């Protein structure tokens, strides 16, 4: 069988792309063409078939009968014919890393939502011909045959290589003899030369871990644009990544480090962790339904962990910034009641119904495997270093996994990961997995950081540069937009939760005075929109009246302030550290 896809967009301002799938040399009486319902790496059912219209099939000039088998599959009657062209229009008007977008300025395609596959023929090699609009150029990780013609050894590879087409800028650098392309769609306050140098450092940092780069060429695709709310998102691919960022993310320095560099390092490490070292359930993909796994705490959470770690190792952030980030993750974990209810295992499995479809009760009942997994990465790395007398680390486990699972192409199970850790350390970590990964509950982070000779201090933010021993709070998470203060969630066990304030209530007054920003605080520096109530001038045990609108009706409640949880975790290093902790600390920070 011969398969060739063609892409055309004569009027990009309409957001439509014409897709043609030419099929030759087959004998079936019917072909089934399916478009995926989700994009690997984004664990959410998206039903891309809703963007398809005007699907027809022809053999020569003869139109063939087409009918729907299910929501994402078309049946093409092909009796007595041996070639067919399946033609459809795809509406591409959502600019994100897991969708496609076409307008008068560019075209971006995530192949998994644009290209149909023939059932039973996903392993067939394919060719792609792109007919660019005007003088637009093409950037992609696909194997290039000529300017507009590309090849993939199977559907998975075709679907896994995003494509940017337009008048974008391309920057280049080389590491390990491999070319790396930086694609920039849009403009902002970026420094192109610094961008190249910093991305090169990230690549070199991971090269130091694994010893070689597992691709011929790599493409970073960045979409720089302003949007409503936080513009940020990334999606990993086998030899490329797509990342959406705010076009003014490149300064100040903290914003550049915490948003741009961290996301880039995260997505780049995925080319090992997930794309080549993956849970057994994540490939070959079933594109028609959810693919469940309990191991996303490792696949995504450990990727988060290595993102900040590699920035510290390469000098893109200093040790103080690294420890600040780690402490903030620990604080947020402890603040969420869901961390004591949902295990990392459960969080991974439930991603399809909870992480991407959050309810107002997520804060109380769920914890992200990104957050939990990042902290588990820290715990496991320190334990491995300790168990081996600072001779080995989590790096060695990943090198072992890469050697085995990239070679045979199979995914790992929990048992396989435990075996790899035991091979590296000589220690059975089954008990660790049971206690920290499979079981929800409190983690004593103060004791954990002591393994590296570090101290963890919990406190409140200073008021007028003075230490504060306690603060009052009600337990409200609030969205503040357009002068309105709307409750997004209520912390379980807090005065507001027990008293009956609900998500979606609009807060209007405190003891008769207008509710304003002065009653709120950011609970995470890296998530500016997530805020909690803060009453620095009140004390636990005092009474307060809260006025609010609920479904248009003005209501009031009398509540009693409780002592607020800590606002700041700070990790500091012990002076004059000696012995085992010193060796562990040196190994941890120097790798």
Q: Are 499 and 491 in contact (CB under 8 A)?
A: no
Residue 179 exposure: Cα atoms within 13 Å on the Cβ side: 9
100 shares its domain with 209? no
Which residue range forms the structural domain that includes residue 529?
472-565
Stretch 167-171: mean pLDDT, rounded?
Answer: 98
313 shares its domain with 258? no
pLDDT digits (tens, 9 = 90+) for 88-144: 999 999 999 999 999 999 999 999 999 999 999 999 999 999 999 999 999 999 999
Cα separation of 111 and 14, whole Å?
19
Cα separation of 355 and 368, whole Å?
7
Tokens of 561: 């302030």
Q: What is the pLDDT of residue 511?
A: 97
Cα separation of 532 and 17, whole Å?
45
Q: H/E/C letters for each residue in 447-459?
A: HHHHCCCEEEEEE
**Matching residue, tokens 């807060």:** 507
Is residue 462 domain-resident? no
Element (H, E) at 405: helix 394-408
Cα separation of 134 and 104, whole Å?
11
Cα separation of 396 and 402, whole Å?
10
Is residue 287 domain-resident? yes
Is residue 570 domain-resident? no
Q: Residue 299 carries which DSSP code?
A: I
Cα 435 vs. chain centroid, distance in angstroms? 26
pLDDT digits (tens, 9 = 90+) for 284-326: 999 999 999 999 999 999 999 999 999 999 999 999 999 999 9
CATH number at residue 40: 2.60.40.3650
CATH number at residue 540: 2.30.42.10
Q: Are 300 and 424 in contact (CB under 8 A)?
A: no
Cα separation of 338 and 468, whole Å?
27
Give alpha helix (H) positions in 391-531.
394-408, 414-425, 430-432, 445-450, 495-499
71 shares its domain with 47? yes
Average pLDDT of the residues of the chain: 95
- pTM, two decimals, is 0.96
Q: How far is CA 457 from CA 51, 139, 487, in A?
A: 52, 48, 30
159 shares its domain with 178? no
Nearest to 102 by CA among 84, 120, 90: 90
Is residue 463 domain-resident? no
Judge if the upstream peptide bond of residue 252 is cis by omega within 30 degrees of 0: yes
Cα separation of 101 and 12, whole Å?
9
Mark residue 286 as left, alpha or beta (left: phi above 0; alpha: psi -120 to 50; beta: remaining). Answer: beta
Sign of CA dihedral 309, 313, 315, 319: positive
Cα separation of 491 and 363, whole Å?
7
Q: Which of 271, 292, 319 is the last residue of a domain?
A: 271
306 shares its domain with 390? yes
Q: What is the pLDDT of residue 582?
A: 81
| Whole-number percent of the chain with pLDDT over 90 | 91
CATH number at residue 254: 1.10.390.10
Stretch 353-374: mean pLDDT, rounded?
Answer: 95
Mean pLDDT check: name the lowest of 111-125, 217-231, 416-430, 523-537.
Answer: 523-537
Sign of CA dihedral 190, 192, 197, 201: positive
């Amino acid at each position: 069988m011969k398969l060739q896809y063609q892409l055309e967009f004569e009027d990009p301002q309409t957001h439509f792309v014409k897709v043609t799938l030419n099929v030759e040399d087959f004998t079936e009486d019917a072909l089934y063409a399916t478009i995926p319902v989700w994009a690997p790496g984004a664990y959410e059912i998206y039903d891309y078939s809703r963007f398809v219209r005007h699907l027809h099939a022809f053999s020569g000039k003869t139109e063939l009968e087409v009918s729907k088998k299910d929501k994402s599959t078309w049946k093409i009657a092909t009796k007595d014919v041996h070639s067919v062209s399946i033609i459809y229009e795809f509406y591409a008007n959502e600019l994100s890393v897991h969708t496609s977008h076409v307008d008068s300025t560019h075209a971006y395609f995530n192949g998994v939502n644009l290209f149909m596959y023939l059932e039973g023929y996903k392993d067939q090699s394919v060719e792609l011909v792109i007919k660019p609009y005007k003088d637009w150029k093409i950037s992609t990780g696909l194997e290039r045959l000529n300017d507009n013609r590309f090849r993939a050894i199977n559907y998975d590879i075709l679907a896994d290589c995003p494509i940017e087409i337009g008048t974008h800028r391309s920057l280049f650098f080389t590491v390990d003899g491999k070319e790396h392309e930086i694609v920039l769609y849009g403009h902002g306050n970026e420094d192109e030369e610094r961008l190249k140098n910093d991305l090169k450092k990230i690549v070199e940092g991971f090269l130091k871990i694994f010893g070689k780069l597992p691709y011929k060429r790599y493409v970073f695709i960045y979409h720089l644009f302003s949007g409503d709310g936080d513009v940020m998102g990334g999606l990993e691919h086998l030899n490329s990544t797509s990342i959406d960022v705010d076009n003014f993310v490149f300064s100040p320095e903290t914003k550049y480090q915490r948003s741009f560099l961290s996301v880039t390092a995260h997505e780049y490490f995925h080319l090992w962790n997930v794309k080549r070292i993956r849970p057994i359930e994540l490939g070959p993909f079933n594109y028609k339904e959810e693919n469940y796994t309990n191991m996303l705490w490792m696949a995504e959470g450990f990727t988060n962990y290595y993102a900040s770690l590699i920035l510290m190792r390469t000098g893109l952030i200093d040790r103080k910034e690294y420890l600040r980030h780690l402490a903030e993750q620990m604080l947020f974990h402890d603040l969420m009641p869901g961390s004591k209810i949902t295990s990392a295992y459960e969080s991974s499995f439930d991603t399809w119904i909870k992480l991407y479809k959050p309810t107002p009760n997520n804060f109380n009942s769920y914890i992200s495997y990104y957050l939990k997994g990042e902290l588990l990465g820290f715990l496991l790395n320190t334990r491995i270093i300790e168990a081996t007398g600072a001779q080995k680390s989590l790096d060695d486990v990943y090198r072992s996994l890469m050697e085995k699972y990239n070679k045979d192409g199979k995914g790992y199970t929990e048992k396989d990961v435990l075996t790899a850790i035991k091979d590296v350390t000589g220690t059975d970590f089954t008990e660790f997995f049971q206690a920290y990964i499979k079981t929800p509950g409190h983690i004593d982070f103060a004791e954990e950081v002591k393994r590296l000779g570090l101290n963890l201090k919990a406190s409140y933010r200073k008021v007028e540069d003075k230490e504060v021993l306690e603060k009052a709070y009600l337990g409200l998470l609030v969205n503040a937009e357009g002068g309105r203060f709307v409750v997004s969630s209520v912390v379980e066990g807090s005065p507001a939760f027990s008293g009956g304030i609900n998500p979606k209530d609009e807060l209007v007054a405190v003891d008769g005075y207008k509710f304003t920003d002065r009653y709120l605080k950011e609970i995470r520096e890296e998530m500016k929109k997530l805020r909690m109530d803060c009453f620095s001038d009140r004390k636990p045990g005092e009474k307060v009246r809260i006025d609010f609108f609920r479904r248009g009706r003005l209501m009031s409640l009398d509540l009693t302030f409780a002592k607020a949880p800590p606002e700041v975790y700070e990790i500091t290093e012990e002076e004059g550290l000696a012995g085992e902790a010193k060796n562990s600390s040196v190994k941890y920070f120097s790798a």
